[in-house]
């Protein structure tokens, strides 16, 4: 099962959408505090809390606690999704061998909507595992929940949509 980690998410509907996505893709969601909202907030509920019973969500006090749990549970490689990434998240063609082949126990780490990943989190992730999504030059980054969806579904696709119907 993939792990999706949101570090200090700020916008309730984004997190709600990611909860719904993780429930539907069979991924486990880790939320690293501080959170920019209350998990019981009405905005979050409208965006995906109706899926909270179907999702596996864990809240961690900080990055160190999240890392410790991932290690204890035998999670695989950590991949950071960042505009500072040097590798594409997916192949653009059969000749592009620079993007990773994802394994079912890999973990994908995403930063907050306003500031991305903190330096201490990025430092824990190997440079070759810092991935980026292609975008048009001079544009701001994609919405957090859209980015999570793109990456999780690519990883799941690479693994034959295991467990899906």
Binding-site members are 81, 111, 133
Planar angle of CA 67, 104, 81, nearest 5 degrees = 55
Cβ-Cβ contacts under 8 Å for 73 (sequence gap 6 or more): none
Positions at the binding site for S-adenosyl-L-methionine: 81, 111, 133
Annotate the chain with DSSP letters as a single string. Answer: --EEEEES---HHHHHHHHHHHHHHT-EEEEESPPSS-TT-HHHHHHTGGGTTTSEEEEESSHHHHHHHHHHTT---EEEE-TT--EESS-SSTT---SPPP-TT-EEEE-BTTTBS-HHHHHTS-GGGEEE----TTPPPPPHHHHHHHHHHHHHHHTTTTT--
The answer to whether 77 touches 87, Cβ cutoff 8 Å, is: no
């Amino acid at each position: 099962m993939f792990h999706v980690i949101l570090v200090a998410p700020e916008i309730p509907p984004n997190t709600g959408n990611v909860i719904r996505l993780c429930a539907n893709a069979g991924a486990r969601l880790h939320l690293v505090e501080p959170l920019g909202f209350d998990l019981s907030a009405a905005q979050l509920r409208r965006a995906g809390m109706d899926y909270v019973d179907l999702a596996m969500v864990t809240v961690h006090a900080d990055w160190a606690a999240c890392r410790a749990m991932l290690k204890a549970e035998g999670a695989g490689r950590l991949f950071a999704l960042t505009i500072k990434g040097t590798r594409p998240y997916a192949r653009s063609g059969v000749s592009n061998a620079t993007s990773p082949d994802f394994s079912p126990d890999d973990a994908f780490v995403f930063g907050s909507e306003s500031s991305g990943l903190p330096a201490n989190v990025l430092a824990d992730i190997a440079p070759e595992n810092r991935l980026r999504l292609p975008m048009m030059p001079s544009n701001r980054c994609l919405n957090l929940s859209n980015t999570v969806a793109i990456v999780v579904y690519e990883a799941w696709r690479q693994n034959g949509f295991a467990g899906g119907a």
